[in-house]
Structure 1
């Protein structure tokens, strides 16, 4: 992608008629297929874009030796940019469609990563101050462009994906996206291991270029998605101030935004530093950390279709409460981790992959369900800004706290144990706010827990339907033919 396209150059598709709120069957099937392919090929660059991932953590803290406080500042950039986009979206919405914004800023984001890949060899490894300044600028540009893409894409897909299909479709789509991420992470671990003894920078460059090439394919797939809805046209005619009034008049949406802000603060205060601890305190190499992340991605991928069916049947909020609670309680196991028992992390990451998949899929579906149709972009933008401002402040505070504690605590393992206790307790406490959300046509948390008692449901959730069905079919056959047991 040589240059950033002007949004006005993106050809507009004719809106759907009021009697046709979703694209016709053949067009909808084509759009869903293209949406799946664009997600699959976007995942490697999306994964790299968030600086808190283990690959970028390795690059910044181990290769370029940036301090934890500086790393925390860079990790916070996506959240700060999510706040900035709130003030730009009213201006952008009046002039361009959501599809136009998604494509234009998507190409700009890709060009930014081309610049980062090209600049890696010239960034000095022996001068952390200069390296920090250059990385700050490049990740700031990347984060800003991606913040607009995140809002416009979410608003755009709501225009043409019917609500009745969202849980099931995104469950299946996200599973395939997780598989794509797994393949990329397995390849990334091998590539970084090959280049680490000789020229690690070349390894990172290769990964970035592959991710950029796949993202280009993703943007071309997005270009081919057709259709819009009349609500999209009506929304652009509504004043931004009137849209904000619609948001304030939706109490459940306000509570969801408050929960997102609290969750962003709790999760990002100390959460981004677990990747650093795995390298520095637990003494894991990049291959081992990559294997842990892949384990989480695999279990999440297998569970996503099951969570999608649960969300469609029981509702989003009860599933979110159930999954976040179990995820955090299980993760207290970090308190007992030391360099001699790091194999336990595979169980923690495997369980975390299952429960986090259900939680984040539910949060996305719940937001799409609660936003007012005439103010969907404003609601999504405001939600992103409100939840991100706390997520922006949190890692800066967390990094500063760890910088203060490091000289005072001789045994760094104690720091990890304290961080694990505080981090998971803070995240778990945000459930108090989530319980305030009222979701139309949803079950209670108790009903979700009751459904999970059936090992048939659990087997389906974990992608083991074939095994569960075989067990039931085999039992049925045995009941009909007692002689078969001889």
Structure 2
């Protein structure tokens, strides 16, 4: 029976991946530039997706009153997909000066619903996938969905180059709405595993469980600090390519395809390694790849731009692919089952807050350094952040994530 459940969970990810790919990444940046957004506004929009995760702490408490999670998940998915898809109507409904504010309002509403999805889906999928299969299953699932994402990126970039401006984005949003319908329908077939609720019934005692777990909190605070630095530059890679380097949509999307391909390769590698090493140890090994990706922007000074971008995105794919997969395995595998929703929520709230601050500050920094020599925007800022990340990994990261004694730091 569980094999059928895993197939449904994988099938659900197909339209969801196409949907998120065409509305996120370089296409999100491109659509915001089309609407007239500044670098600061783009950083703010990117950051919003993680800020709302702070509300997951409340969600984790409220879902304890549920016996079944499926219909709450379906309602949240419906609201998220419809509201985010509705951003495509902004140029048709609002005056031009209201395009960016209207987009932001719809975007915020969509990701409030997504905060609910984050807790409920992670809690449910953690119960659906047997513990012994998690590393391999998520490795295979992520590989399949990222392969699809690569194709989607390539097709989306081709369409925007062939049909520039509003016409190209209109085509993308038509595809998006088809995926919205498909995704919601597939969720109707989702399994609804029995929900083992926390023994605590009050909010504060329930919140204390993760907050008083020393090993969990040390890892969470380190990863939050890491994401604060990482998100100063990584979410704005597309902005630098499109607005600073002035490369085309097709090249920008191709770079994201390269990143996704290397993510797929890394999913298989990290998934197999997960059978031999702990989630936290493998998380540590992903950090130098992400730092190296930021430092590799300095290659723009000595080699052709396209070659430098290829190296940057190959390193990022290996690093971020492993980081995302292993951090997810960490919060659903290294936490107590009955209290897992609150552990997930606390992790998401803390890392969400720092991941909100990162792109917001990063976008402003790109505005502030615009009058400086061009090399500062092209690679100077990114390289400086990469060096800081590498130092953080080799010092604090080594102590927190790669400690030979699992019972002490």
User: TM-score under structure 2 normalisation?
Assistant: 0.91
Taking CA–CA contacts closer than 8 Å with sequence separation of 6 or more, which of the two structures ends up with the larger relative contact order? 2
The 2-side partners of 1:49 and 1:31 are apart by 27
1:368: Cα distance to partner? 1.4
The 1-side partners of 2:23 and 2:52 are apart by 13
1:168: Cα distance to partner? 0.3
Which of 31, 42, 65 is the aligned partner of 1:59?
31
The 1-side partners of 2:175 and 2:67 are apart by 30
Q: Which residue of 1 aligns with 2:379?
A: 417
1:436: Cα distance to partner? 4.3
How large is the RMSD of aligned CA atoms in angstroms?
Answer: 2.5
**Contact kept in structure 1, 2:68 and 2:192, CA below 8 Å:** no
User: What SS does structure 2 have at the residue aligned with 1:235?
Assistant: coil
CA displacement, residues 325-364 of structure 1 (integer Å, 9 cap, x when unaligned): 1342354121131594322321331232223222221111
1:279: Cα distance to partner? 1.5
Q: Which residue of 2 aligns with 1:8?
A: none
Which of 356, 360, 382 is the aligned partner of 1:396?
360
Q: Which residue of 2 aligns with 1:306?
A: 269
1:147 aligns with 2:109: no
The 2-side partners of 1:440 and 1:267 are apart by 23
- What are structure 2's unaligned runs of at least 5 residues? none
Aligned length: 404
Q: Which residue of 1 aligns with 2:153?
A: 185
Which of 28, 34, 37 is the aligned partner of 2:11?
37
Query: 1:230-379 maps to which residues of 2 (within 5 A)?
Result: 232-235=195-198, 238-337=201-300, 340-379=304-343
The 1-side partners of 2:30 and 2:60 are apart by 34
User: What SS does structure 2 have at the residue aligned with 1:418?
Assistant: helix
1:47: Cα distance to partner? 3.1
**Deviates further, 217-226 or 66-75:** 217-226
Q: Which residue of 2 aligns with 1:80?
A: 51
The 1-side partners of 2:146 and 2:15 are apart by 11
The 2-side partners of 1:357 and 1:91 are apart by 31
**Residues 287 and 438 of structure 1: is their aligned pair in 2 closer, same or farther, counting only changes over 3 Å?**
closer
The 2-side partners of 1:204 and 1:441 are apart by 51
User: TM-score under structure 1 normalisation?
Assistant: 0.77
Q: Which residue of 1 aligns with 2:20?
A: 46
The 1-side partners of 2:158 and 2:209 are apart by 50
**Contact kept in structure 2, 1:252 and 1:370, CA below 8 Å:** no
